Amino acid sequence: MGVRLEPWTEDDLPLVQALLGDPVMMEHLGGSEAPEKIVERHGRYIGAPGVFKVTFEVVPAGWVGYWEHDWQGERIYEIGWSVLPAFQGRGIAAEATRLALEAARATDGPRAVHAFPTPDNGPSNAICRKCGFTFLGEVEFEFPKGVFGPSNDWYYDLSARSRGE
Ligand SMILES: CC(C)(COP(=O)(O)OP(=O)(O)OC[C@H]1O[C@@H](n2cnc3c(N)ncnc32)[C@H](O)[C@@H]1OP(=O)(O)O)[C@@H](O)C(=O)NCCC(=O)NCCS
Protein backbone atom coordinates (compact mmCIF):
# COMPACT_ATOMS: atom_id res chain seq x y z
CA MET A 1 0.00 0.00 0.00
CA GLY A 2 1.33 3.45 -0.91
CA VAL A 3 1.05 5.06 2.53
CA ARG A 4 4.16 6.84 3.77
CA LEU A 5 5.05 9.12 6.65
CA GLU A 6 7.09 12.20 5.76
CA PRO A 7 8.49 14.96 7.97
CA TRP A 8 6.23 18.02 8.29
CA THR A 9 7.60 20.91 6.18
CA GLU A 10 6.93 24.62 5.59
CA ASP A 11 4.92 23.70 2.49
CA ASP A 12 2.31 21.79 4.50
CA LEU A 13 0.19 24.71 5.76
CA PRO A 14 -2.61 24.05 3.19
CA LEU A 15 -2.80 20.44 4.40
CA VAL A 16 -3.27 21.34 8.07
CA GLN A 17 -5.72 24.10 7.06
CA ALA A 18 -7.81 21.52 5.17
CA LEU A 19 -7.65 19.07 8.09
CA LEU A 20 -8.31 21.40 11.03
CA GLY A 21 -10.22 24.25 9.39
CA ASP A 22 -13.05 22.01 8.17
CA PRO A 23 -15.98 21.76 10.63
CA VAL A 24 -16.94 18.31 9.31
CA MET A 25 -13.41 16.99 9.91
CA MET A 26 -13.43 18.52 13.40
CA GLU A 27 -16.90 17.30 14.40
CA HIS A 28 -15.49 15.08 17.17
CA LEU A 29 -12.68 17.48 18.10
CA GLY A 30 -14.52 20.53 19.36
CA GLY A 31 -15.17 22.16 15.97
CA SER A 32 -12.81 23.74 13.45
CA GLU A 33 -9.74 25.51 14.77
CA ALA A 34 -9.29 29.29 14.33
CA PRO A 35 -7.12 30.27 11.31
CA GLU A 36 -4.40 31.85 13.50
CA LYS A 37 -4.29 28.75 15.74
CA ILE A 38 -3.78 26.58 12.67
CA VAL A 39 -0.85 28.73 11.52
CA GLU A 40 0.65 28.52 15.02
CA ARG A 41 0.19 24.75 15.09
CA HIS A 42 1.77 24.42 11.64
CA GLY A 43 4.84 26.27 12.97
CA ARG A 44 5.10 23.82 15.88
CA TYR A 45 4.77 20.81 13.57
CA ILE A 46 7.74 21.77 11.36
CA GLY A 47 10.70 19.69 12.42
CA ALA A 48 8.87 18.20 15.43
CA PRO A 49 9.88 14.60 16.07
CA GLY A 50 6.77 12.41 16.02
CA VAL A 51 4.74 14.68 13.73
CA PHE A 52 4.24 13.42 10.19
CA LYS A 53 2.52 14.25 6.96
CA VAL A 54 0.75 11.16 5.64
CA THR A 55 1.06 10.68 1.89
CA PHE A 56 -0.81 8.23 -0.31
CA GLU A 57 0.83 7.51 -3.67
CA VAL A 58 3.03 10.57 -2.96
CA VAL A 59 -0.02 12.89 -2.57
CA PRO A 60 -0.57 14.60 0.84
CA ALA A 61 -3.54 12.82 2.47
CA GLY A 62 -3.37 13.55 6.18
CA TRP A 63 -1.53 13.86 9.44
CA VAL A 64 -0.45 11.50 12.21
CA GLY A 65 1.50 12.36 15.32
CA TYR A 66 2.57 11.29 18.78
CA TRP A 67 3.74 13.53 21.58
CA GLU A 68 4.53 13.24 25.27
CA HIS A 69 1.70 13.82 27.73
CA ASP A 70 1.21 13.34 31.48
CA TRP A 71 -1.66 10.96 32.06
CA GLN A 72 -2.80 9.58 35.43
CA GLY A 73 0.63 10.21 36.94
CA GLU A 74 2.55 8.62 34.07
CA ARG A 75 4.49 10.07 31.15
CA ILE A 76 2.90 8.61 28.00
CA TYR A 77 2.80 9.15 24.29
CA GLU A 78 -0.56 10.42 23.11
CA ILE A 79 -1.27 9.66 19.46
CA GLY A 80 -3.72 11.19 16.99
CA TRP A 81 -4.56 11.08 13.30
CA SER A 82 -6.55 12.83 10.61
CA VAL A 83 -7.13 11.96 6.94
CA LEU A 84 -8.71 14.21 4.28
CA PRO A 85 -12.27 13.22 3.29
CA ALA A 86 -11.21 12.37 -0.30
CA PHE A 87 -8.84 9.69 1.07
CA GLN A 88 -10.98 8.23 3.86
CA GLY A 89 -12.29 4.67 3.99
CA ARG A 90 -9.25 3.09 2.31
CA GLY A 91 -7.31 2.06 5.38
CA ILE A 92 -4.91 5.01 5.09
CA ALA A 93 -5.30 6.18 8.70
CA ALA A 94 -4.86 2.65 10.04
CA GLU A 95 -1.69 2.11 8.02
CA ALA A 96 -0.34 5.55 8.98
CA THR A 97 -1.03 4.73 12.64
CA ARG A 98 0.87 1.42 12.39
CA LEU A 99 3.82 3.28 10.85
CA ALA A 100 3.69 5.96 13.57
CA LEU A 101 3.69 3.26 16.26
CA GLU A 102 6.81 1.79 14.67
CA ALA A 103 8.44 5.23 14.69
CA ALA A 104 7.49 5.69 18.36
CA ARG A 105 8.89 2.25 19.17
CA ALA A 106 12.26 3.32 17.74
CA THR A 107 12.52 6.27 20.16
CA ASP A 108 13.75 6.11 23.74
CA GLY A 109 10.52 7.82 24.89
CA PRO A 110 7.57 6.37 26.83
CA ARG A 111 6.49 2.79 26.05
CA ALA A 112 2.80 3.47 26.77
CA VAL A 113 0.82 4.98 23.90
CA HIS A 114 -2.74 6.20 24.46
CA ALA A 115 -5.37 7.42 22.02
CA PHE A 116 -8.45 9.29 23.24
CA PRO A 117 -11.16 9.33 20.55
CA THR A 118 -14.62 10.44 21.66
CA PRO A 119 -16.97 7.48 22.11
CA ASP A 120 -19.08 8.55 19.09
CA ASN A 121 -16.09 8.76 16.69
CA GLY A 122 -16.74 5.42 14.94
CA PRO A 123 -13.84 5.48 12.44
CA SER A 124 -11.27 6.59 15.03
CA ASN A 125 -12.29 3.90 17.53
CA ALA A 126 -12.16 1.38 14.64
CA ILE A 127 -8.56 2.40 13.95
CA CYS A 128 -7.59 1.75 17.57
CA ARG A 129 -9.18 -1.70 17.41
CA LYS A 130 -7.59 -2.54 14.05
CA CYS A 131 -4.13 -1.43 15.16
CA GLY A 132 -4.11 -3.61 18.27
CA PHE A 133 -4.86 -1.06 20.97
CA THR A 134 -6.57 -2.30 24.15
CA PHE A 135 -9.75 -0.53 25.26
CA LEU A 136 -9.35 0.62 28.88
CA GLY A 137 -12.71 2.39 29.28
CA GLU A 138 -14.31 5.80 29.11
CA VAL A 139 -12.56 8.75 30.77
CA GLU A 140 -12.96 12.51 31.15
CA PHE A 141 -10.46 14.09 28.79
CA GLU A 142 -9.42 17.70 28.11
CA PHE A 143 -9.61 18.70 24.44
CA PRO A 144 -9.36 21.36 23.26
CA LYS A 145 -7.65 23.11 26.18
CA GLY A 146 -10.11 23.94 28.95
CA VAL A 147 -12.89 21.73 27.56
CA PHE A 148 -13.52 18.42 29.34
CA GLY A 149 -15.70 15.68 27.91
CA PRO A 150 -15.98 11.91 27.60
CA SER A 151 -13.32 10.07 25.58
CA ASN A 152 -12.41 6.44 25.16
CA ASP A 153 -9.00 5.52 26.54
CA TRP A 154 -7.16 3.09 24.21
CA TYR A 155 -3.73 1.74 25.18
CA TYR A 156 -0.86 0.30 23.16
CA ASP A 157 2.28 -1.12 24.79
CA LEU A 158 5.36 -0.49 22.64
CA SER A 159 7.43 -2.96 24.64
CA ALA A 160 5.02 -5.86 24.14
CA ARG A 161 5.20 -6.68 20.46
CA SER A 162 6.29 -5.39 17.12
CA ARG A 163 4.67 -5.42 13.74
CA GLY A 164 4.49 -8.81 12.09
CA GLU A 165 5.00 -10.76 15.30
C1 LIG B 1 -10.66 9.00 11.84
C2 LIG B 1 -10.10 9.11 10.42
C3 LIG B 1 -8.63 9.50 10.49
C4 LIG B 1 -10.23 7.75 9.70
O5 LIG B 1 -9.53 7.81 8.47
P6 LIG B 1 -9.63 6.64 7.37
O7 LIG B 1 -8.41 6.74 6.49
O8 LIG B 1 -10.95 6.71 6.73
O9 LIG B 1 -9.53 5.35 8.27
P10 LIG B 1 -9.37 3.84 7.79
O11 LIG B 1 -9.91 3.70 6.40
O12 LIG B 1 -7.97 3.42 8.06
O13 LIG B 1 -10.28 3.05 8.82
C14 LIG B 1 -11.55 3.48 9.12
C15 LIG B 1 -12.29 2.31 9.75
O16 LIG B 1 -13.42 2.85 10.40
C17 LIG B 1 -14.56 2.08 10.05
N18 LIG B 1 -15.69 2.97 10.16
C19 LIG B 1 -16.03 3.97 9.33
N20 LIG B 1 -17.14 4.59 9.78
C21 LIG B 1 -17.48 3.96 10.94
C22 LIG B 1 -18.52 4.15 11.89
N23 LIG B 1 -19.41 5.12 11.76
N24 LIG B 1 -18.54 3.31 12.97
C25 LIG B 1 -17.64 2.34 13.12
N26 LIG B 1 -16.62 2.12 12.26
C27 LIG B 1 -16.55 2.93 11.18
C28 LIG B 1 -14.27 1.65 8.64
O29 LIG B 1 -15.09 0.55 8.31
C30 LIG B 1 -12.80 1.30 8.73
O31 LIG B 1 -12.60 0.02 9.29
P32 LIG B 1 -12.38 -1.29 8.32
O33 LIG B 1 -11.15 -1.00 7.50
O34 LIG B 1 -12.19 -2.38 9.30
O35 LIG B 1 -13.60 -1.38 7.48
C36 LIG B 1 -10.89 10.13 9.58
O37 LIG B 1 -12.23 9.81 9.63
C38 LIG B 1 -10.69 11.55 10.09
O39 LIG B 1 -9.70 12.19 9.76
N40 LIG B 1 -11.64 12.05 10.88
C41 LIG B 1 -11.57 13.43 11.37
C42 LIG B 1 -10.46 13.65 12.38
C43 LIG B 1 -10.60 12.75 13.58
O44 LIG B 1 -11.68 12.55 14.10
N45 LIG B 1 -9.45 12.23 14.04
C46 LIG B 1 -9.40 11.35 15.18
C47 LIG B 1 -9.12 12.05 16.43
S48 LIG B 1 -9.04 10.89 17.80
Asked if residue 99 has its Cβ within 6 Å of ligand 1, the reply is: no
Mutate to test the pocket of ligand 1, among 83, 95, 138 (most ligand atoms within 8 A of CB): 83
Q: What is the DSSP letter of 97?
A: H
Helix axes 122-130, 92-105, angle to 10 degrees: 50
Is the model more confident about 4 or about 165? 4
Nearest residue (CA) to ligand 1, atom 44: 28
How far apart are alpha carbons 105 and 157 in whole angstroms? 9
The whole-number pLDDT of residue 143 equals 86
Mutate to test the pocket of ligand 1, among 81, 131, 138, 152 (most ligand atoms within 8 A of CB): 81
The whole-number pLDDT of residue 144 equals 84
Please say if the pLDDT value at position 161 is more than 90.
Answer: no
Model confidence at 100, pLDDT cuts 50, 70, 90, reads: very high
The CA 60 to ligand 1 mean position distance, Å, reads 17
The CA 25 to ligand 1 mean position distance, Å, reads 11
The CA 88 to ligand 1 mean position distance, Å, reads 7
Q: Are 62 and 100 in contact (CB under 8 A)?
A: no
> What is the mean predicted confidence (pLDDT) over 74-83?
98
The whole-number pLDDT of residue 30 equals 86
Q: Is the peptide bond before 144 cis (omega within 30 degrees of 0)?
A: yes
- Of 102, 30, 33, 21, which Cα lies nearest the Cα of 66? 102
The CA 130 to ligand 1 mean position distance, Å, reads 10
- Which CA distances in Å does 146 have to 78, 82, 141? 18, 22, 10
The whole-number pLDDT of residue 160 equals 86
Residue 26: exposure state from Cβ atoms within 10 A (0-12, 13-18, ≥19): middle
Write down the pTM of the prediction.
0.94
Q: Which amino acid is at 38?
A: I
Helix axes 35-45, 13-20, angle to 10 degrees: 130
> What is the mean predicted confidence (pLDDT) over 100-125?
97
